[in-house]
Structure 1
Amino acid sequence: MTIPPAVRIQAAAVRALYALPEGLRRAIAGKSVVRDGQRLAPDAQVMLKLQRLSGVALVMPGGVGASRAAMEHSRHLVGGPTDRTVAARSVGIPQEHGESAATLYTPDGLAAGSGLLVLLHGGGWVIGSRASHDHVARFLARRAGVRVLSVEYRLAPEHPFPAAAEDAVAAFDYACAKAADLGADPERIAVGGDSAGGNLAAVVAQQAVRRGGPAPAFQLLLYPATDASTRRPSRGLFADGFLLTSADMDWFADRYAPAPADRTDPRLSPLLAEDLTGLPPAYIGTAGFDPLRDEGEAYARALKEAGVEVRLSRQSDLIHGYVNYLGLGGRFREAAAEAAEALRQAIGG
């Protein structure tokens, strides 16, 4: 994909800003932001300041189309240069409705029979794509030493709940059935995602275990949405000013699961599943300044209580979406590297 010159200039300016000495970046960030006993990282403060100045948000005034376009545009500014040491090829996943597109990422020199991550992108089930998360897929593949199958599931409002969940389950089934063709070890297939993608990954793990047969070896859940039926304290504490807002969450949910959808359905609210026993080990990463923080951490507690091996890691100084800002380095890259290392330890070489 050709990046417009104006976008290249904007991206270069952002990189130059984040290349400044730490003291200067702190000065640009301004007065420290402290909330709920947490101090926001200067890297995150600068990013939020840039976001406010640019007028770009997760939900744009132009609605679904404008919001999707803004996310695709933003990846060029904050995702960083494309890692060419990771090869990519297109894959078609058969579905009842036709075919879902996917991209298989393979790090240079990775032998056949590696672990594989089925990656489900974030974006509130409404925005986002394989393209918006290309840099995330490449980073995880290289740092964890695994193949990554990044899936293009159907989006709402054109395809409301449970379409995305159905596509996610079918993608996992495809990865298991075609593991040899994908160069993967069928015993080391993980599922993961960020935000809405983390929600879908949790749903896949539950559905696979409950029906019997192949199940994920590991879950990589990054600031996942786990309960659409209620509002926890973090929803109010970080309702506005930290990228994802409470109003955004309502907007996404109303498009993915409009009435009369049952928002207590475990395929939408995996935290509410009656039985969490027997699920695969999980790494759950949450962000301190995120309205989704409390429900992600509640899911970690529920899994532990059910006897599931869980590592919960709160990035207390960061905001929702932190793995998308790899090109900004600093704390964003550190947090993403921790998640990649958890994946490497679980299914890597």
Structure 2
Amino acid sequence: MPLSSIAVQGTALRALYRLPHRIRRLIAGPPIRLDGQELALDAQLLLRARAMSGVPSLASGTPAKARHDLVAGSRMIAGTPIEPVDARDLSIGSIPARLYTPTGLAEGSPLLVFFHGGGFVLGNVDSHDNTCRFLAKHARVRVLSVDYRLAPEHPFPHGVEDALTAFKYAHTNAKQLGADPDAIAVGGDSAGGNLAAVVALVTTREGGPKPAFQLLIYPATDSTRDTRSKKLFAEGFFLTKDDMDWFMGHYAVNEQDKHDPRYSPLLAPDLSGLPPAYLATAGFDPLRDEGEAYAERLREAGVPVMLSRHADLIHGYANFLGIGTRFREAMFEAAGVLRSGLELKPSE
């Protein structure tokens, strides 16, 4: 899709959200209530706009086409670049990355190593550029966004290997990055949340260094079983069952891979000693229940964890920063908890 067409569609979508509440409700349709929850109007309007414009599903066609569509779509709904944030590209060996620094942030600040979502098949530093800018600005942290290798060209465990390499690089090179090596968090959304959880798990079991905090936004934690939320929200709420099957079919070399805790961290036999975590779920998300099950496992293992279900939201809200207000509200919470979690790191 030409950039001019994307810009026009983005302008039209943002104009839709500026209409009076009554008109937005008429366009979106009657409120959607399911599982004791009511979908936010902002989310329902986005789903309606996607349906009316014929936007393809996440897993549409080849991985190359789906990647193009995701980046194009992100330009429409992520909003204009959030400022004042300085961004520079760098390399972690062969892994591309981008470092975000809020203007004026002192040296020796906390750092978030961020892994983007996209089902291990889609996404890059560009698709999540504004998400990282938002977290950098509002949490007052540096953010190192990692462009890890994607399936099917690089299936499991290549993404895990890159994520571990990136965290270890950040810790070793903290001074050069302007960061405090004792205040490095890992985080991400969806597949990126999975990678963040796995990095925390693996580095803890290796004896460290390990992250100071985990920011897990609607993470995938168990690909071995169906859950109630996967059945309830299989269709019509942005991420579908077909999408998930397509993603997992590319990421897993074989079925046994899915039982590896580096793929499904909920299956890890021991979660004790992991860093404190903020785990956010969306009420209308197929991944809701496995995310909340992981939070419960962390809590049972004695790990400090804050679980926050945004009952009125859908999967993907971390990227919908340029439309409405409800998605940003959820991300303001994430930024606030991240900042507090890193500022309150245990003293030696």
TM score, norm. by length of structure 1? 0.96
Instruction: Determine the C-alpha separation between the residues in 2 that align with 1:175 and 1:330.
Output: 33
Question: Which segments of 5 or more consecutive residues in structure 1 lack a partner in the other structure?
Answer: none
Question: Is 1:88 paired with 2:87?
Answer: yes
* Residue matched to 2:51: 52
CA offset at residue 24 of structure 1?
A: 2.1
Instruction: Determine the C-alpha separation between the residues in 2 that align with 1:348 and 1:119.
Output: 18
- After superposition, the C-alpha distances for 1:219-261 in whole angstroms (9 at most, x for unaligned) are 0000000001111110000000001001111110010013254
Are the counterparts in 2 of residues 146 and 347 from structure 1 also a CA contact under 8 Å?
no
Percent identity reads 57
Question: Is 1:21 paired with 2:16?
Answer: no
Residue 228 of structure 2 aligns with an amino acid whose one-letter code is: P
Where do residues 179-190 of structure 1 align in structure 2 (5 Å cutoff)? 179-190=174-185
* Residue matched to 1:306: 301
1:141 is aligned, of 111, 136, 143, to 136
Instruction: Determine the C-alpha separation between the residues in 2 that align with 1:311 and 1:57.
Output: 34
* Residue matched to 2:3: 4
2:257 alignment partner, SS class: coil
Instruction: Determine the C-alpha separation between the residues in 1 that align with 2:4 and 2:230.
Output: 39
Instruction: Determine the C-alpha separation between the residues in 2 that align with 1:329 and 1:137.
Output: 19
* Residue matched to 2:198: 203
2:83 alignment partner, SS class: coil
Instruction: Determine the C-alpha separation between the residues in 2 that align with 1:157 and 1:261.
Output: 17
Question: Is 1:228 paired with 2:227?
Answer: no
Instruction: Determine the C-alpha separation between the residues in 1 that align with 2:96 and 2:129.
Output: 14
Instruction: Determine the C-alpha separation between the residues in 1 that align with 2:171 and 2:230.
Output: 37
* Residue matched to 1:71: 70
CA offset at residue 348 of structure 1?
A: 5.0
* Residue matched to 1:247: 242
CA offset at residue 109 of structure 1?
A: 0.5
2:290 is aligned, of 285, 295, 306, to 295
* Residue matched to 2:168: 173
2:269 is aligned, of 267, 271, 274, to 274
Instruction: Determine the C-alpha separation between the residues in 2 that align with 1:327 and 1:206.
Output: 33
Instruction: Determine the C-alpha separation between the residues in 2 that align with 1:296 and 1:309.
Output: 15
Are the counterparts in 2 of residues 93 and 171 from structure 1 also a CA contact under 8 Å?
yes
Are the counterparts in 2 of residues 114 and 348 from structure 1 also a CA contact under 8 Å?
no
Which moves more between the two structures, 48-57 or 263-272? 48-57
Instruction: Determine the C-alpha separation between the residues in 2 that align with 1:54 and 1:197.
Output: 28
Question: Is 1:219 paired with 2:214?
Answer: yes
Are the counterparts in 2 of residues 284 and 313 from structure 1 also a CA contact under 8 Å?
yes
Instruction: Determine the C-alpha separation between the residues in 2 that align with 1:58 and 1:270.
Output: 27
2:328 alignment partner, SS class: helix
Residue 117 of structure 1 aligns with an amino acid whose one-letter code is: L
2:283 alignment partner, SS class: strand
Paired residues in the alignment total 343
TM score, norm. by length of structure 2? 0.96
Question: Which segments of 5 or more consecutive residues in structure 2 lack a partner in the other structure?
Answer: none
Instruction: Determine the C-alpha separation between the residues in 1 that align with 2:338 and 2:115.
Output: 15
CA offset at residue 65 of structure 1?
A: 1.2
Instruction: Determine the C-alpha separation between the residues in 1 that align with 2:70 and 2:118.
Output: 9
Instruction: Determine the C-alpha separation between the residues in 2 that align with 1:28 and 1:348.
Output: 44
Instruction: Determine the C-alpha separation between the residues in 2 that align with 1:83 and 1:147.
Output: 14
Which moves more between the two structures, 265-274 or 16-25? 16-25
Residue 180 of structure 2 aligns with an amino acid whose one-letter code is: D
Are the counterparts in 1 of residues 191 and 220 from structure 2 also a CA contact under 8 Å?
yes
CA offset at residue 211 of structure 1?
A: 0.3
Change (3 A) 1:161 1:310: same
Instruction: Determine the C-alpha separation between the residues in 2 that align with 1:129 and 1:34.
Output: 34
Residue 66 of structure 1 aligns with an amino acid whose one-letter code is: K
- After superposition, the C-alpha distances for 1:289-345 in whole angstroms (9 at most, x for unaligned) are 010000000000000000000000000000001111000131111011111111111
1:216 alignment partner, SS class: coil
Instruction: Determine the C-alpha separation between the residues in 2 that align with 1:172 and 1:101.
Output: 13
1:119 is aligned, of 86, 92, 114, to 114
1:304 alignment partner, SS class: helix
Instruction: Determine the C-alpha separation between the residues in 2 that align with 1:34 and 1:112.
Output: 48
1:156 is aligned, of 127, 151, 157, to 151
Instruction: Determine the C-alpha separation between the residues in 1 that align with 2:272 and 2:54.
Output: 45
Which moves more between the two structures, 228-237 or 51-60? 51-60
CA offset at residue 7 of structure 1?
A: 1.6
Which moves more between the two structures, 146-155 or 10-19? 10-19
2:168 alignment partner, SS class: helix
